[in-house]
Structure 1
Amino acid sequence: MAETAHGGVRRTAFPIAGDLSEMRRRTREFLAPAAFDELREMNFVLAISEAANNVLDHAGTEGVVVLLCEADRVVAEIRDEAGLLTDADAGLTPPPVGSRRGYGLWLMREMCDAVEILHSGAGSTVRLTMTLP
């Protein structure tokens, strides 16, 4: 989907596919006008990539990334139709020491200013937010 702007909000969306490098490239292009410092941009792109990877690994359905740039923040919504992610508190604490899995949501919460996990009949959404400088 092409980037659009309405009421001062820029928006784009694209499907989650096996090539997450393309998703990361498109995300960085969308973020460029936001003028994040390098570390914040890298953290945000990594968090979005991790959420998209979780869709590929766990949902078993197609997913989509929706990016919104508002006046004071950038929001990424990573959506899937499976709806398997139902725990709004997932990732609030780190996984046990030595665990091989379970770091993704915890890292997203560490790297982003806000993380919300939403669930409805339409599926699951991980909403990641970074405030603008």
Structure 2
Amino acid sequence: MNEMKFTAEQLPGVRRFTEEHARRYKVDEDLLGDLVIAVNEIATNAVRHGSSHAELRMWTENGRVIAEIHDSGTWTLLADPGGSPPPPEAEGGMGIWVARQICAAVQISTGISGTVVRLELSPTARYI
């Protein structure tokens, strides 16, 4: 497992970390940018809406690349956050929806210890 703690100022480092580890995990070149986008969207949400500090963990499991973002913020989950795109006039709210378009699975849990968003990607399959 590879880990990185970050703040909003360190989001470019989150993107580099994600790309570096995705390459190590043999993510197809055509999917690499998509994974970086999905992780960046969730990492940005974590430090903008959750807490000033967050953590990214990446590893492989059962043939999938897993990226897990944890912050200390909590929120009330909607029935299906990111299940549909935000309206065209929205100025935000696309992060979870974008991640769901890219990843095979997006799991969200929140409680007294914070919020964890787990992204799963098959290194060679396209979901869009």
TM, length-normalised to structure 1: 0.84
The residue number in structure 2 matching 1:8 is none
In structure 2, distance between residues paired with 1:88 and 1:12: 31
The residue number in structure 1 matching 2:26 is 35
The residue number in structure 2 matching 1:73 is 64
The CA RMSD over aligned residues, in Å, is 1.5
In structure 1, distance between residues paired with 2:79 and 2:73: 16
SS of alignment partner, residue 19 of structure 1: helix
Large movers: runs of 4+ above 4 Å: none
The residue number in structure 1 matching 2:74 is 83
Task: Quote the sequence identity (%).
Answer: 31
How many residues align? The count is 123
Aligned-pair CA distance for 1:14: 0.7
The residue number in structure 2 matching 1:129 is 120
Equivalent residue for 2:55, pick from 48, 64, 73: 64
Aligned-pair CA distance for 1:85: 5.7
Where does the alignment leave 5 or more consecutive residues of structure 2 unmatched?
none
TM, length-normalised to structure 2: 0.87
SS of alignment partner, residue 119 of structure 2: strand
Relative to structure 1, is the Cα distance of residues 85 and 76 closer, same or farther in structure 2, using a 3 angstrom cutoff? farther
Where does the alignment leave 5 or more consecutive residues of structure 1 unmatched?
1-10
In structure 2, distance between residues paired with 1:50 and 1:85: 19
Does the Cα contact within 8 Å between 2:31 and 2:123 map onto a contact in 1? no
Does the Cα contact within 8 Å between 1:77 and 1:127 map onto a contact in 2? yes
